[in-house]
Amino acid sequence: MFWRPSKQMNARISNLRAHLKDENPVLVDVVGSYQELDKVAYRLGLLDRNESFATRISWWPMIAVLGTFSAGKSTFINQYLSAPLQQTGNQAVDDRFTVICYSSDNEVRVLPGLSLDADPRFPFYQISEELDKVATGEGGRINAYLQLKTCPSENLRGKIFIDSPGFDADEQRNATLRITDHIIDLSDLVLVFFDARHPEPGAMQDTLEHLVAGTVQRNDANKVLFILNQMDVTAREDNVEDVVSAWQRAIARGGIASGRFYTVYNEQAAVPIEDANLRRRYETKRDADLAEIGQRIEQVSVERVYRIVGSLESLANRIEQHSVPMLRRSLERWYRRVMTLDLLIILPILLLLLGASISAGYWDGIVFAPPWIDALGAAWITLTVLGAVLFAAMLGIHFWMRAIIARRIAGGLEDDQGPGHLARAFLKNTRATRSVFRSTPAGWGKASRKHIAKVREAADGFVQKLNDRYTNPSGGKSAAATSDNAGAANFGADKDESPARQASGQRG
């Protein structure tokens, strides 16, 4: 059947299930619900048989680290992983996005961007197609934008980190921002680092506004944390509030009027603070912010599961409440335009023939009676052929016009209005075998509505299972909740061992 996935896609889904089975069994069932939505999308034409909604999200927790060069983001990652993975320095030292994932190998490996573009398990699957939309040919230069690094750090197990190049100097600016938007969409936590040694945004103001403007419009804006690193430089003048205010004004220009900044610095690389009271105040604030950042990182795994389930229900709602109505409206617009052109082209031809026959005296009152009608009556085969040719000509004009109108309407349907390929789904409904009078999209009926309802019901059930695992209103302690809370507590318990505390800001 054409509404079933291809063998290649079935193999990918089976591989995904196998990976998730050991890590989170609940998500294995969630994959099945995504496949239920795939069936609806195949029928509607929103997806091709070698596509699946399940491959359009990241099933592993993702933490994006963005910011200017020398803001300490690479150092943060190195210290968190307890490995010198990323190059650090006061100048831009890396011009590519780096995806970092766990590996049981004892050595660090660096793989080209193609390894990400061709593997649906990673967040940049088929990102080359997006780059081609920015500039023709850029997709072929995928290795200039992306790389994959593996690391045996236990702190990385079950997570994916993404380190970005500095925003400041970007000759490939449009492509860089397109990738940045893609990262923010997929990530469960976004850490945006700024260098407190440069209290004014300066040259990166336009990029900051781009980042903040996108955050304002999101329904998950709370996943973006703004971090002011190397705050020890403000101790000499004791003006930490002034520095924070400068950056708050900067993001306010992008639309966030009350954005919070975490203020951190690295104790070993800090400027000496002679005043004991001032030093204690700075350390207390730093420790509190680092503990909160560390807790958010540890909670990413739980948040990711809820976000995947939430995306499932959101996707079902968008198909029923957005994609299908948009297809219906487009089909109605197509019908009106086709009928209008039929009248504007075919009706004048008929009127011209009528006028010519009246001028020739072929009418006897309201009866069409040309002198040659008796001769044609004897040659009924010739008359039939002439009628068929005339009808075929009219029909050909009709189908030619409806195809042209369909292509024009499809050109105004963008895939980012989705979910799925709206233009392709619309063209499926305008094929010659479909009547122009049908406004209900092909593939949308009782069966599809039942699939949507089934997915919604399943999503509610998944949330209840997750709540049973991570909450307990009666006060008893479940094993899962106890384990998760213990992990978060241990993460910030020893300040000398805390990866987040160590990571906050050697000059890099």
Question: Does residue 248 surpass a pLDDT of 80?
Answer: no
pLDDT digit string, tens, across residues 63-72 = 988 877 777 7
Residues 6+ apart with CB under 8 A from 40: 46, 319, 443, 448, 451, 452
pLDDT band at 404 (very low <50, low <70, confident <90, very high): very high
Residues 6+ apart with CB under 8 A from 498: 290, 291, 294, 491, 492
H-assigned helices in 187-275: 205-216, 240-252
Q: H or E stretch including 453?
A: helix 446-470
More confident residue, 381 or 265: 265
Burial of 338 (C-beta count, 10 Å sphere; 0-12/13-18/19+): buried
CA separation, residue 53 to residues 9, 37, 271, 319 (Å): 11, 8, 50, 12
pLDDT given for residue 46 in this prediction: 92
pLDDT given for residue 77 in this prediction: 84
What mean pLDDT, rounded, does the chain reach? 78
Query: Which of 94-98, 156-160, 313-317 is least confident?
Result: 94-98
Q: Where in the chain is the domain with CATH 3.40.50.300?
A: 57-263
Class for domain 57-263, per CATH? alpha beta
pLDDT given for residue 325 in this prediction: 93
In the block, tokens 């906050």 appear at 504
Axis-axis angle for helices 7-23, 25-44 (nearest 10): 160
pLDDT given for residue 140 in this prediction: 74
pLDDT digit string, tens, across residues 146-197 = 888 888 888 888 788 888 876 654 445 666 777 777 788 778 888 988 877 7
Question: Does residue 340 surpass a pLDDT of 80?
Answer: yes
Question: Does residue 416 surpass a pLDDT of 90?
Answer: no
pLDDT band at 35 (very low <50, low <70, confident <90, very high): very high
pLDDT digit string, tens, across residues 220-243 = 667 888 888 878 777 777 777 777
* Mean of pLDDT values over 274-286: 84
CB atoms within 10 A of CB 474: 5
First to last CA, the chain: 55
pLDDT digit string, tens, across residues 108-154 = 888 888 887 777 667 677 777 767 766 667 677 777 778 888 888 88
pTM score > 0.75 for this model? no
pLDDT given for residue 376 in this prediction: 64
Closest CA to 472 of 482, 459, 463: 482
CB atoms within 10 A of CB 495: 14
Question: Does residue 489 surpass a pLDDT of 50?
Answer: no
